[in-house]
Amino acid sequence: MEPERIPPGNRKAGIEYTLEENARPRFRGRLPRVARLMALALQFEALIQEGWIRDYADLARLGRVSRARITQIMNLLNLCPDIQEQLLFLAPAIRGRDAIHESALREIAKVPEWEQQRRLLATTCPLALMPCARLMV
Q: Tell me: the pLDDT tens digits for 77-116?
A: 999 999 999 999 988 877 778 878 899 999 999 999 999 9
- pLDDT for 14 equals 45
Residue 5, classed as helix, strand or coil, is strand
Tens-digit pLDDT profile for residues 25-42? 555 678 899 999 999 999
Residues 32, 104: Cα–Cα separation, whole Å: 14
Give the lowest-confidence range in 8-22, 63-77, 107-121: 8-22
Helices H, strands E: what count in the chain? 7, 2
Query: DSSP assignment, residue 11?
Result: S
∠ CA 88-91-94, nearest 5°, is 135
Which fold, 32-134?
Answer: Arc Repressor Mutant, subunit A (1.10.10)
In sequence order, the β-bridge partners of residue 18 are 5
- Residue scoring higher pLDDT (38 or 10): 38
Amino acid letter at 61?
R
Q: Which of 39, 33, 73, 70 is nearest to 55 (CA)?
A: 70
User: What predicted TM-score, i.e. pTM, was given to this entire model?
Assistant: 0.72
pLDDT tier, 136 (very low <50, low <70, confident <90, very high otherwise):
very low
